[in-house]
Amino acid sequence: MITLVDTGLCNIGSVANMLRKLGVRPNIATDGRGVEEARALILPGIGHFDAGMKNLEERGLAKALHERVVGAKVPVLGICLGMQLLARHSEEGSAPGLGWIAADVKKFRFEPPVSLPVPHMGWNEVEPVDVEMFKGHEPGRTRFYFVHSFHVVPDDTAVVAAWATYGTRFVAAVRQGHIWGAQFHPEKSHRHGLNVLKNYVEAVRDAA
């Protein structure tokens, strides 16, 4: 039902284990052929933007993902670097992103007197916006685990599914129809992360 995209820059096992807790046995795709029949996708990622895009291109995943997500409207959830790859471009490198969300990726910059370490690492409360993605979360008690130096800046805040604050307000999640993105790591966020994955699984089932 759900295909995990292995870019070679992620811990597929942790995401797969969380899905199994929900009764989902995911397929693993390491190349374009693996996503050709996918009915729903999860694109996790850790590391450098250009390296992520390079791996997607070299494995034949970028073209196949575009055909499924843009052409066939197959649902996708990008996680951490996977969410950033949904954008057009990143200050982290020079490679073009997938471009499914009208957004760019920028490095954390703080206005004095604010001075915080980068990367942003650890637990952070988020402000949910998208009702379906964050269904079942308690207001003021929704916390997720983050590890990132860059954050997505969309052209239009209508795609923002959740906000968070780390020295400055930034986008913690995006949603544009069947395209979901989480800057945090749901697979490291215990019950809160499990609930976001559960909401995605349910949305995929309802759309099938």
| Sequential pLDDT tens for the chain (208 residues) | 899 999 888 889 999 999 999 999 999 999 999 999 899 999 999 999 999 999 999 999 999 999 999 999 999 999 999 999 999 999 999 999 999 999 999 999 999 999 999 999 999 999 999 999 999 987 777 899 999 999 999 999 999 999 999 999 999 999 999 999 999 999 999 999 999 999 999 999 876 6
Please answer whether residues 31 and 3 qualify as being in contact, where contact means their C-beta atoms are separated by less than 8 angstroms: no
Quote the CA–CA distance of 40 and 206 in Å, as a whole number.
Answer: 12
Residue 138 is predicted with a pLDDT of 77
Report the catalytic residues.
Answer: 80, 185, 187
Q: What's the pTM?
A: 0.96
Residue 84 is predicted with a pLDDT of 98
Q: Look up residue 53 and give its two tokens.
A: 């895009």
Residue 10 is predicted with a pLDDT of 82
Number of domains, the chain = 1
Q: Residue 92's domain spans which residues?
A: 3-207
Identify the CATH number of the domain in which residue 104 sits.
3.40.50.880
Say if strands 103-107 and 168-176 run parallel, antiparallel, or are unpaired: unpaired
Phi-psi region of 190 (alpha: psi -120 to 50; beta: other; left: phi over 0): left
Residue 208 is predicted with a pLDDT of 62
Quote the CA–CA distance of 4 and 29 in Å, as a whole number.
Answer: 6
